């Protein structure tokens, strides 16, 4: 059996090589029907660690981090922790020389636990608590992204006398982009950022410049997620450069930094075209340079915040088939996980590529709907996907491109425990986040 979709040139030229579109670069099929990741059998991983399990290819993560650094050697690359974060991931990002974008006290605490340098941390959030702001200042984070007017005074009073906290202002560029309405964050009328239209952005500039404990380092924007073309980023860059020029003309201040956020799309299905870091780098840096030249501005130092594009393709989720049954015209394949470990299909209708692994199967395919084990009709992982006609309970299914927004969005719905994270590196599998146990859930109970 091969994956859903067309056989790629790589598959034809290298027997056993899967279509690398949605899959990690080291993912290979073996003649007996198993698959390996980084040279490690996925069946062996399922046998050793159980299912469901998240499997992360450390080599693939590092390769993608290096690709961004190579494409933008003069920029700051800040990995967006919200996509996927654990202590191992934070350490990989740290050792690769990337910065880290966090958006909660919990993400900051985890970064601190591995000694991630504070000056390489950018702290985000549309409603940061006073305690989180205090922790950010206390740890010496490099940049705090101010999202609203009240936050300016709240942060300023926390900065020790004689010190200055560098900040960025999150601006709404009114550029809409993203694969789903729920993840489009660059337009007016959503909860993030300071509006240019209302005047809040201009007010924020004035207020920050008036705070002796704050240093306005630059501007920030984030227009959405799972964006696969460069044009929206170019448009956002033009808007932001115009704002830099306006601040110079109004206040006589040339801000040295511009953070264009992340949202870089990846392949979830064969034939999808992810955003290429080199194409992005060439287009966006050229746009910034040309627009700055036209406005008489020095080009600001660029920061970008890829998250999904670094971790997403490096992850696979393994499930065990529990039930196969036909209801009306639909064949349901129910697995031992679902919306608690991957809520994205329920939230956004997100599609996934999957494959049955672990044995040789019939070449005959039938369309099935792969569902989870939770008490929700919407607990669907993938609809109308081709699977071998002889699929049965006990089979192992691998789902591609689950390295982003799966572990980080996982829940304990129905008091279902969350899966472990297994890292693959140099032909070895190791546990980096253990499986949650019922005792973990009960430990939070304080009595009747």
Q: Where are the beta strands (DSSP E) in 360-433?
A: 365-371, 380-388, 396-400, 421-425, 428-433
3-state secondary structure of 61: helix
Taking the C-alpha atoms of residue 397 and residue 335, their distance in angstroms, rounded to an integer, is 9
Catalytic option among 86, 103, 221, 375: 375
3-state secondary structure of 64: helix
**Strand 165-172 versus strand 194-195 pairing type:** parallel
- Tell me the HSE value of 314 on the side-chain side, using a 13 A CA sphere: 26
> What's the N-to-C CA distance of the chain in angstroms?
53
Tokens read off for 174: 């009114």
The residue with tokens 């705090």 is 144
Answer positive or negative: Cα dihedral of 437, 440, 443, 445. negative
Tokens read off for 138: 């206390």
Q: How many CB atoms lie within 10 A of CB 215?
A: 15
Q: Report the interhelical angle of 200-209 vs 231-251 (nearest 10°).
A: 50
On the question of a cis peptide bond just before residue 198, with omega within 30 degrees of 0, the verdict is: no
The residue with tokens 């030229």 is 13
Rounded to a whole number of angstroms, the CA Rg of the chain reads 23
Of 62, 89, 85, 54, the C-alpha closest to 399 is 54
Taking the C-alpha atoms of residue 56 and residue 433, their distance in angstroms, rounded to an integer, is 11
Which distant-in-sequence residues (6+ apart) come within 8 Å of 135 by Cβ? Answer: 105, 108, 109
- Quick check: is 292 catalytic? no
Q: Which residues are known to be catalytic?
A: 375
């Amino acid at each position: 059996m091969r994956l859903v979709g067309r056989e790629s040139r790589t598959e034809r030229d290298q027997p056993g090589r899967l279509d690398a579109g949605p899959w990690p670069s080291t993912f290979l099929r073996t003649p007996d029907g198993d698959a390996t990741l980084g040279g490690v059998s996925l069946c062996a991983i399922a046998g050793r660690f159980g299912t469901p399990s998240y499997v992360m290819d450390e080599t693939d993560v590092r390769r993608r981090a290096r690709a961004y650094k190579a494409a933008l050697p003069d920029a700051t690359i800040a990995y967006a922790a919200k996509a996927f974060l654990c202590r191992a991931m934070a350490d990989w990002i740290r050792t690769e020389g990337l910065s880290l974008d966090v958006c909660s006290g919990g993400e900051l605490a985890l970064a601190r636990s591995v000694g991630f340098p504070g000056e390489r941390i950018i702290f985000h959030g549309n409603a940061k608590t006073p305690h989180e702001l205090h922790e950010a200042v206390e740890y010496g984070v490099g940049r705090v992204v101010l999202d609203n007017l009240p936050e300016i005074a709240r942060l300023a009073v926390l900065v020790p006398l004689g010190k200055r906290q560098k900040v960025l202002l999150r601006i709404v560029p009114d550029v809409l982009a993203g694969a789903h309405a729920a993840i489009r964050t660059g337009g007016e009328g959503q909860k993030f950022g300071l509006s240019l239209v209302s005047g809040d952005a201009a007010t924020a500039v004035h207020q920050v410049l008036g705070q002796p404990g704050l240093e306005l380092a630059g501007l920030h924007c984030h227009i959405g997620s799972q964006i696969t073309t460069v044009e929206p980023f170019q448009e956002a860059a033009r808007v932001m450069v115009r704002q830099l020029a306006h601040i110079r003309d109004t206040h006589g201040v040339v801000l040295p930094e511009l953070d264009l956020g992340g949202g870089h799309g990846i392949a979830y299905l064969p034939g999808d075209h992810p955003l290429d870091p080199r194409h992005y780098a060439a287009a966006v840096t050229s746009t910034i340079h040309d627009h700055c030249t036209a406005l008489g501005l020095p080009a600001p130092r660029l920061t970008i915040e890829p998250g999904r594009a670094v971790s997403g393709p490096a992850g696979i989720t393994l499930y065990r088939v529990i039930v196969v049954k036909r209801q009306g015209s639909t064949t349901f394949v129910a697995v031992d996980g679902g919306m608690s470990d991957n809520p994205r299909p329920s939230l956004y209708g997100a599609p996934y590529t999957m494959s049955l692994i672990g044995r040789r199967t019939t070449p005959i395919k039938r369309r099935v709907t792969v569902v989870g084990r939770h008490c929700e009709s919407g607990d669907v992982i993938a609809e109308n996907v081709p699977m071998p006609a002889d699929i049965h309970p006990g089979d192992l299914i691998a789902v591609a491109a689950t390295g982003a927004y799966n572990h980080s969005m996982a829940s304990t719905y129905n008091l279902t425990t969350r899966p472990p994270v297994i890292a693959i590196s140099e032909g070895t599998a190791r546990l980096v986040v253990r499986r949650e146990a019922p005792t973990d859930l009960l430990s939070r109970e304080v009595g009747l």
